[in-house]
Structure 1
Amino acid sequence: MFRPRIIHRYLLREMIGPFFISLGVFTFMLLIAKIMELTDLVVSRGVGLDVVGRLLLYTLPYFFVFTIPMATLLGVLLAFLRMSGDMEVVALKAAGVSPYAFLPPVAVLAICAWLVTSALAFWGLPWGNHRFENLVFQVAKAQTDLALKERVFMDTFPGMVIYISRLPGQGQMTDLFIVDEREKGRHHTIVAKRGKIFPANNDRLILRLYDGTIHSVGQNLRSAQTAAFVTYDIAVDASTLSAAHQRTTKHEKEMYFGELLAEMDKLPADSMQHYLIEMEMHKKFSVPFACLVMALIGLPLGMHSRGGRSWGVAIALVVFLGYYLMLSAAWSFGKTGDYPPIVGMWAPNLLLGALAVELFRREVKEKPLAILDVLGGLPVIIQRLLGAKLADRGAER
C-alpha cells in the first residue's frame, strides 16, 4: 500500500524540476527578444549598458506574469508525461491509487504559482512598468536626438521643418534639409551634408551644420540670397521638446490596484478609459488564476499522452497560445464596451477550466475525449508536414 504523503512528495519533486527549467527557458527567450529590441539604444544612441540592464530588470515582472502560468502547465504536463511513458501512472492505478490522489501536489504547485503571480500582478507589474517608462523618458530627455527620426519631415521645433536622411547616433546627422520660417519676412531653406545637435543652456539646443548652402527668400519674393558655408550654427528652442518629455500622469498599466479604483471613480461609466481601467483591474486577478487552470489541464493531458518531452512542449504551446489569443481578443472587444470587462477577462479561464474538469473526469473514468488524441497527435502532424516540406525542397535542388 502506498502512503499518500510519499506519493505527494514524489509527484511534487517530479513537477518542480520541469517547472523551473520551463520558467527559465521562456523568460530567457523573452529577455533575448527584448535585448534585440534595445540593441539600437546601445549601438546607435550610445545608451550605457547599465541603463539597458535596468530596463531589462523592470520588464521582468511583466515577463513572469505570463511565463509562470506557462511554466506551471509544462511542469505538470512534462512530469506526468514522463510517468506515463514509464508506465508509472498505470502501476499506481493498478496498486489502487486513484487519480484524485494526484490532485494535492498539483494543487500545491498551482497555488504557489498563483500567489507569486498575484503578487507580481498587483505590485511588481505596476512598479516595473512605471520605472521602465520613467527611465525611457529620462534617457529621451538627456539625449535630444532620440526625438528625431530618419526620413520624416518633422516639426519638432517651432517655426522649423527638418528632414534627416540618416541618424548614425551620438547626435550625428547626415544629409539634412531644413526650412526655417522663424525670421519674420524671410524664408530660409538650408541643405547640409552633415549635422550635429547638442544641448546649450536655458532650454536651448545648438544645431551645428557642416558643408551646406543657405537659400534665403524675402516675403515679397523680390530679394533672394544664396550662400555656402563650412560650418553654420542654428539655435533652436527646446522647451517644447522638454515639455514632451514631462510625465504628468500614469498609464493604467503603471497603476496599483488602489490607484485604478480611484481613477475609475473619476471617469464616466461609459468611457473607453473606464473600460480599460476596469479590464486592467480584472486582469490582475484573471491572469494569475490561469496558473490553477493550466495545472488542472496539464494533469489529464499528461496522464493520457504517451509522447516525449517534445510532444509535451508542443501541446503546452498549443494550449497557451489558445489562451493568449482568447485573452487578446477579449481585451480588444472589451475595451470598446461591447460586453462587460469581467466577461472578457474571465472567459478564457472559464472555458479552459471547464475543458480541464471534463478532461480529468473522463480520464478518471478511463473514457478520454477525442480532443486528447487530437492534441497528442499535433506534434506528429507538424513533424510530418515539416518533413514533407523539407523533402520537397531537397527534390527541387
Structure 2
Amino acid sequence: MLTKLQRLIARDMLVVFVVSLFVITMLVMFIGVAREAINQGLGIMGVVRLIPFSIPNALSLAVPGTALFSVCSVYGRMSADNEFVTMQSVGISLFPSMVPAIVLMTGLSIATVGLINLAFTWGFHGVRSVVLSSVETIAYTQLERERSFQHANFSISVRDVRGRDLIEPRIKIRRTGAAPIHITARTAQLAYRSDDDSLQLTISDGRAEVGGTASFAFPDTFVHSIPLGLEPNLDLLTAHPSHMAMGDLPTASSRQTDDIRRRENALAVHTGFSILTSRTDDIGKPCAVARLADIAQSRQRCHRLDTEMHRRWASGFTCLAMSLVGIPLAIRMKAADTMTSFGVVFLPTVLIYYPIFALTLDMAKDGRIAPQGVWITNLLFVVVSIMMMRNLIYKPA
C-alpha cells in the first residue's frame, strides 16, 4: 500500500510525464515527420495518412527522455526544497520515496517494448505503404523541382515537366544479375498502380538500350511496369528481422538454424563426394564458394534474429535504466531549475548509454558476443544507480 507521500510523488511524476510526452510527440510529429513528408512531396493527404503509423515510433523515441525529465523535475524540486533533508532528519529513509519512480518506470519500460514492437512492424509497413502509394505524387513533385527522381533500381531525369507529360526523359532501370536498361524518349508519363503496387511508365517515341549490346526503337507508345518492391509474401526465412513481430522471432530463429544445418549437410556431402571421386578441384569451384557464402549469410541472419528480441526489450527498459541514474543525481544536485537538472543529468547519460548500447548491439548482430549482451548497458546503469542510491541513503550530503 502506497503512503500519502508516495502517491503525491507518483501523481507529480505522471502529470509532468504526460504533459511533456504530449508536447515532445507533437513536436516530433508535426515539425519533424510532417515537415519532411511535405518537403519530399507527399502532400497534405499523404501526411494525414502517415501520422497514425508514425505515432508509435515517435512515442518510443520520446518516452525515455520524457521519463528522465519527469524524474529530474520532481526529485530535483523536492531536493531543492530540502524535503529529503527533513525526512532524513526525523529518521525516514529515502528509499520509500524512490519506489514510485521505480514502479512507474518499470511499467513505462514494458509499455515502451510494446510501442517498439508496434513501430517496427505495423508502423513500418504502414509508412512504407503510404509512401509507395504516393510515389506518383512524390515523383512529379521532385521532377518539377529537381528534374530528376530515383526510387530503388529506377531513376529518371527530364528536360521539363508539362502537366503529366515528362519532356525528353532519360530513364535507367537497374536489374539484379542482368545488364541495366537505358531509355530515351520524346515524352513519358508515370502512374501508380494499386493492384500490384507498381509504377507504370508510359513512353512515347523512344529508344531502349540493354547494356550497350542490344537496342530497339519504338515510334509509338510503350508501357512498362516497375515493381516498387513491397514483397508482401516474405516468409520467416526471408523477412527482415527488424520488421518481424516479436511472436514470430523464436520460430524464425529455429527455422534459420534448420536452414543452416541443411546447407552445411549439403556442403559436407558435396565435399565428401568430391574427395571420394578424386575431384578435389570441385571443392574450390564457384558453386562451392557460393554455398559457403550462403551459409555465412544464414548464420548472420540467425545472429540478428536471436539479437532482435533482446534488442527490443533492452531498448524499452532504457526508461528504467536512465531514470534509476537520474533519481540520485537529481537529489544530489538540489537544483530547483528543472532544465538545469535535466540537462546536467541527460547529456552524460545519453553520451554514455547510447554509444555502449550501439556497440554491444553491433557485436551481438555479428555473433561476437551472445545476444544477451545488448543488456550490458542497462545492467551497468542499474549497478551504478544502486551504488549511488545506497551512498545517498547511508551517506547523505
Match of 1:251 in 2: 240
Which residues of 2 match residues 305-316 of structure 1 at below 5 A?
305-307=333-335, 308-314=337-343, 315-316=345-346
SS of the equivalent of 1:327 reads helix
**Residue 5 of structure 1: how far off its partner (Å):** 1.0
Question: In 2, distance between residues paired with 1:294 and 1:198?
Answer: 49
Question: What is residue 34 of structure 1 aligned with on the other side?
Answer: 33
Deviation of 1:346 after TM superposition, in Å, equals 0.4
Give 2:378's aligned amino acid. N
Say whether residues 1:164 and 2:164 are aligned partners: no
Whole-angstrom CA distance in 2 between matches of 1:116 and 1:179: 46
CA contact (8 A) 1:163 1:178 kept: yes
Matched, 1:347 2:346: no
Q: Which amino acid aligns with 1:164?
A: S
Q: Superposed, which structure 2 residues align to 1:60-139 within 5 Å?
A: 60-123=55-118, 125-139=120-134
Distance 2:80 2:172 in 1: 72
> Closer, same or farther in 2 for the Cα pair 1:170/1:76, shift >3 Å?
farther
How far apart, in 2, do the equivalents of 1:179 and 1:62 lie?
Answer: 34
Q: Is 1:332 aligned to residue 317 of structure 2?
A: no
- Say if 1:80 and 1:302, in contact at 8 Å, map to a contact too: yes
> Are 2:121 and 2:244, in contact at CA under 8 Å, matched by a contact in 1?
yes
Report which stretch shifted further, 298-307 or 283-292: 283-292
- Summarize the alignment of residues 167-178 of structure 1 with structure 2, pairs less than 5 Å apart: 173=166, 176-177=169-170
Does the CA contact (< 8 Å) of 2:68 and 2:323 recur in 1?
yes
In the alignment, which residue of structure 2 is the partner of 1:263? 252
Aligned residue pair count: 333
Q: Which residue of 2 aligns with 1:358?
A: 387
Aligned to 2:190: 197
Say yes or no: does 1:237 pair with 2:220.
no
Q: What TM-score, normalized to structure 1? A: 0.70
Deviation readout 1:266-310 (Å, 9 max, x if unpaired): 224662111222221112221222222223212101111123112
Deviations 1:89-116 (A, max 9, x none): 2222223221112122122311321232
- Distance change >3 Å, CA 19–CA 128, structure 1 → 2: same
CA contact (8 A) 1:23 1:67 kept: yes
Gaps of 5+ in 2: 174-181, 261-295
Higher mean alpha-carbon deviation, 5-14 vs 142-151, is at: 142-151
Question: Residues 156, 289 of structure 1: CA spacing in aligned structure 2 closer, same or farther, 3 A cutoff?
Answer: closer
- Does the aligned pair in 2 maintain the 1:144–1:198 contact within 8 Å? no
Residue 124 of structure 1, CA deviation: 5.6
2 CA distance for matches of 1:126 and 1:358?
38
Asked if residue 278 in structure 1 is aligned to residue 306 in structure 2, the reply is yes
TM-score where L is the length of structure 2: 0.70
Q: Does 1:289 align with 2:328?
A: no
Q: Are the aligned partners of 1:163 and 1:177 in contact in 2 as well (CA < 8 Å)?
A: yes
**Cα root mean square deviation, aligned:** 4.1
CA separation of 1:208 and 1:301: change in aligned 2, threshold 3 A: farther
* Runs of 5+ consecutive residues of structure 1 not aligned to the other structure: 181-187, 220-224, 226-231, 369-397
Alpha-carbon contact 1:179-1:190 (below 8 Å) kept: no
Task: Output the CA distance in 2 between the equivalents of 1:107 and 1:154.
Answer: 47
